[in-house]
Structure formats: C-alpha cells, structure tokens
Amino acid sequence: MQAGIKLSTSENLKNIYERYHQQGVSEWRKLAAMDKAKHILALCQNIKHEKVIEVGAGDGSVLARLGEVGFAKEMFALEIAESAVKTISGRNLQSLVECKIFDGYAVPYGDKQFDLAIATHVIEHVEHPRLLLEELKRIATHVFIEVPLEYNFLGMRDADHAFKYGHINFFNPLLFSNLLKNMGFEIVDSRIHNSSLYIYKFQSGWKGVPKYFLKQAFLQLSPRTATKLFSYLYLILYK
C-alpha cells in the first residue's frame, strides 16, 4: 500500500461484522463454505498452494473445509472483526498457523509470502476495493476471488436487502474483469457459477428447487442473458 496513506474499514461496517460473527459458527456459513471450497479447488488445483491465506475469513468455515481435504500445508486467516478472530482461533482448524485481525486494507505480511490469497464474498463489502486487490496481489503469487454478480435486474431490485449485509459494491462479469485488467492483473481463469441446489433448499426449502433449475437453464443456454436477469457467482483467479 502506498506510503503515507492510512485507511481502515468504517466503524459502521465493522459493527455489522462484529454483530454478525458473535453468533459463532453458523450452519449457513458451513453450508456455503462447501460451495466456496469446491470453487477454490476447481480453479486452483493446478497451481502451487502449499501456503495459503484467506482474507476476510469469517468464522473459518472455508478454511475448515480446505483443511479437511488437505488443500494446503499452512493456512493463515485475517479478519476485521474481533469476534470472527475469536471464533476461528477457537476451532483448532487443521493446518491453521495463524489468525490475525487487520484494518481491512494493510495486510500485515511480506511481499509474495503466500502461494495463494483467497477472498470469497469480500470485495463486495470493501469501501476501496482497488486497495485491497493490490494488497492481495502483493502478498501472493496467485489470488482467488469470488463475488456475487448482483448488478442485474433482480439483484438491483433487491439492493436494500444486500445493503443490510454490508454489500456496497455491485458487479457483473464485465465490470469485475475490467476492474482487474485496468489494474494490470492477468486473469488466469474465470467462471460463472450458480449456487448448488442444497443452497437453494436451505434458503427456501422445496420452493428453491424450481428457482435453481430455472437459473441453471438460463446460465447454460445464454450466460450473457442470465447474468442480466439473475444473480450468480463469479470466480476469478488472477496473478
């Protein structure tokens, strides 16, 4: 990060995440972590990943899942919420070396200290996304990002709901890929995914089943049209 510039996450957003993580490990985050870990494995299995850091690690559910499958020899975690750090530290996660709190921007590690930096469902929360994306690239050889694609007809109609969870940035595939390209990053791989069926069933019961298949059909038939109508997940690996 450029010398002389000191930024940190706003107190309003910090308070949202402190309250959110005070509940400890949630069933929803454990379920969502199964999808996230699957996506990480899909894009990162062919690159070196012995030393991995997750920035914005939440309650540690993604790291827990990656530990279960032996993804990395050493894993590190960063969070802005003290309640999240307390939860992660208390889980005795396999391969977890260290869990620290940070200000949301200045990552307290050296240049290229990690093979892979992970930030899943983080960038949509960040007030100055370019600064954090630069930091992730500084500390790691490769960076995996997952963001929700909410800049679409239905997503913007429900924007007030997203704001309640701290979503302040809204993306579509073109907006996010152009952001990385304009910063001079090389995109190694990128994919658009629908959430798994069990996510829909957890959120909406059996009513979620037709919604899943409808969105899946649109995505397979016409990805460009699908992302203009519905929200999906965007996975990107860059270096």
Give the count of domains, the chain: 1
Is pLDDT larger for residue 144 or for residue 29? 144
Taking residues 173-179, what's their average pLDDT?
94
> What is the pLDDT at residue 65?
94
Domain CATH number, residue 71: 3.40.50.150
For 63, the 3-state DSSP assignment is helix
Distance between CA atoms of residues 131 and 236, nearest Å: 17
What are the strands, taking DSSP E only, across 80-132? Answer: 96-101, 114-120
> What is the pLDDT at residue 64?
94
Instruction: Tell me whether residue 5 is exposed, middle or buried, using C-beta atoms within 10 angstroms of its C-beta: 0 to 12, 13 to 18, 19 or more.
Output: exposed
| Residue at 202 is within a domain | no
Distance between CA atoms of residues 148 and 39, nearest Å: 13
Of 103-107, 142-146, 191-195, 209-213, the poorest mean pLDDT is in 103-107
Between the alpha carbon of residue 29 and those of residues 34, 35, 58, 164, the distances in Å are 9, 10, 8, 17
| Residue whose pair of structure tokens reads 């070196």 in the numeric block | 48
End-to-end CA distance of the chain: 17
Is pLDDT larger for residue 2 or for residue 48? 48
Q: Which residues are CB-contacts of 16 (< 8 A; sequence separation ≥ 6)?
A: 165, 166
Distance between CA atoms of residues 103 and 100, nearest Å: 10
Distance between CA atoms of residues 107 and 120, nearest Å: 16
**Residue 119 in this model has a pLDDT that exceeds 60:** yes
> What is the pLDDT at residue 20?
56
| Residue at 219 is within a domain | no
User: Cα angle at 237 between 232 and 239, to 5 degrees?
Assistant: 150
**Residue 14 in this model has a pLDDT that exceeds 80:** no
| Residue at 130 is within a domain | yes
| Residue at 50 is within a domain | yes
> What is the pLDDT at residue 235?
97
**Residue 130 in this model has a pLDDT that exceeds 50:** yes
> What is the pLDDT at residue 19?
58
Full domain range(s) for residue 175? 11-194+232-238
**Residue 135 in this model has a pLDDT that exceeds 60:** yes
Is pLDDT larger for residue 233 or for residue 160? 233
Taking residues 99-127, what's their average pLDDT?
94
| Residue at 136 is within a domain | yes
> What is the pLDDT at residue 217?
97
Long-range contacts of 25-29 (CB under 8 A, 24+ apart): 25/59, 25/60, 25/61, 25/87, 25/91, 26/59, 28/202, 29/58, 29/59, 29/61
**Residue 207 in this model has a pLDDT that exceeds 80:** yes
Taking residues 135-146, what's their average pLDDT?
97
For 116, phi and psi rounded to 5 degrees?
A: -145, 130
Is pLDDT larger for residue 168 or for residue 50? 50
Q: What is the pTM of this model?
A: 0.89
> What is the pLDDT at residue 104?
87
Taking residues 17-33, what's their average pLDDT?
71
For 101, phi and psi rounded to 5 degrees?
A: -95, 145
